Amino acid sequence: METAIAVKDVQVSYYGKQAISGVDFEIDQENVIGIIGPNGAGKSTLLKAMLNLVPLDSGTIEILGKPLQDVRKQIAYVAQRNQYDWDFPINVLDTVLMGTYPNMGMLRRPRKKDREWAYECLQKVGMEEFSKRQIGELSGGQQQRVFLARALTQKADIFFLDEPFVGIDIASEETIMRLLKDLKQQGKTVLVVHHDLSKAHDYFDQLILLNKKVIQYGTPSQVLLPDVMLQAYDSELGFLQKVGASL
Amino acid sequence: MGFIEGLIQYDFLQKALLTSIMVGIICGVLGCFIILRGMALMGDAISHAVLPGVAISYAIGINFFFGAVLTGVLTAIGIGFISQNSRIKQDTSIGIMFTAAFALGIILITVLESSTDLYHILFGNVLAVRPSDMWITLVIGAVVLAAVYLFYKELLVTSFDVTMAKVYGLRVGLIHYFLMTLLTLVTVASLQTVGIILVVAMLITPAATAYLLTDRLSMMIFLSASIGAASSIIGLYFSFTYNLASGATIVLAATALFFIAFLFSPKKGVVWQHFSARRSRKQAINQ
């Protein structure tokens, strides 16, 4: 199986403060991978580094064997929901249609077949009956499904999702998870920054446990072990114990 | 004499009407992107920043169009440079740079003792539009409308989701400065009609009015352009009939239309929301 993402000895800092350093791992294609770790562990920073949104202090990142700049269009990104202006005058179908932009040249406009493809992707997430709604009128789970539909429209090979399950309903979560597994069956690679450890076991083929660096990388049963988790969540656990003691 | 008779009889009034309608349209179109990107202050800044350029152009005897575009774009670059290379936030950077450019403009106009009438540049005098001014406005209008049409997709995605645009490799910085250039062009086109001080009103008020009326960007742009044009016609009527400054009457016409939408817009209007809230309360009580 081919390597989808190769991260080699990557360091990123903000304003002179190291967010992640010595991060090193390789991901094979056809995987659904979760990135877990405590708050401030650098999960979003790692994601941004892989999306070429922040400069690297050192190290390299290759996607599909090529430098990031050459494979941008093969990468689809679903940001956290709080990133968007939900009052923006745009409806569901036009939002999904944006997924066709990366593979459309400058000065080109979406055509009928692009609209049909966007609608098809909207059907995959079960949101076609809402196609004319303004995006702010949807529930959190529906909004997340729409943005997944937009990512599907892009026909990408690598999918990055940042905390997609925060504040959404169970039905939407299941729909999204089912589609991510479908993508894997189609040979795609999916990376999800994830918070809820209780479901990590069922959702992911591999987990990357992060706390400034990679603490552990492997199958859920290799990562979700008490002594391994303790290494990453040490500071938070120490805090909890202190709070517990004072009560 | 009535407005309509004047329009038939006087060439200058026809030119004034045509010019101000074009200004209303292009300000309305571009204004949609300005308000959706949260750049109302930037609109104000760029419009003020053309003043030194206008002064220099008059002094060395070239069309004020060239100088205005130059200092407008330079100020936009300066604002970006300061906020990207220090901890100064964007709005602060805007405040520093545009007041500096404006102050420089005032000094240049005084020192160079140019024949420009500061009052007319600041507040506009559409009834004194010369044929050359009208043509500049029409050409700029055509360029701006064509640019927005051709780059609609890029303007939309960078306004709604700049991160996605960056991820797929769109040069978002370039698009920002492209928009700033269009903004400068629109300001230059508006100089005669509403003047530097009030251009920002034409950029944001019709767009904000349209924003209250629709949930689709294409419709918002169309409505905003129509509202801008309507404001120009209504404003020009009052300016001509009661001998008032055209910039002021046009802006107040746009403001009046805004408040009508603010109060009575279906779904989003204050009055409508009040009644629908009352109705649901009554229903709740009756049940």
- The pLDDT value given to residue B85: 87
Task: Report yes or no: A72 and B164 within 8 Å, Cβ to Cβ.
Answer: no
User: Of the candidates A63, A244, A222, A66, which has an alpha carbon nearest to the alpha carbon of residue A157?
Assistant: A63
Interface check for B4 against chain A (CB to CB < 8 A): the answer is: no
Summary mean pLDDT of chain B:
90
User: Of the candidates B287, B180, B191, B204, which has an alpha carbon nearest to the alpha carbon of residue B247?
Assistant: B191
Mean pLDDT of B23-51: 94
- The pLDDT value given to residue A237: 59
Pairing of the two strands A3-14 and A17-28: antiparallel
Q: What are phi and psi of A77, to 5 degrees?
A: -130, 130
Residue pLDDT, tens place only, A137-148: 999 999 999 999
Mean pLDDT of B13-28: 94
Interface check for B149 against chain A (CB to CB < 8 A): the answer is: no
Sheet with A17-28: strands ordered across: A17-28, A3-14, A58-63, A66-67
The answer to whether the Cβ–Cβ distance between A90 and B216 falls below 8 Å is yes
Task: Extract the residue ranges of chain A whose pLDDT is less than 70.
Answer: 1, 235-247
Residue B13: C-alpha distances to residues B39, B51, B134, B234 (Å): 33, 26, 12, 13
- The pLDDT value given to residue A232: 84
Chain B interface disruption, residue of A63, A68, A77, A80, most B CBs within 10 A: A77
DSSP for A184-202 reads: HHTT-EEEEE---HHHHHH
Residue pLDDT, tens place only, B146-186: 999 999 999 999 999 999 999 999 999 999 999 999 999 99
| CA separation for the pair B107, A220 (Å, rounded) | 70
The answer to whether the Cβ–Cβ distance between B167 and A108 falls below 8 Å is no
The answer to whether the Cβ–Cβ distance between B151 and A107 falls below 8 Å is yes
- The pLDDT value given to residue A241: 58
Q: What's the pTM? A: 0.90
pLDDT > 90 in chain B, percent = 60
Residue pLDDT, tens place only, B182-221: 999 999 888 878 888 889 999 999 999 999 999 999 999 9
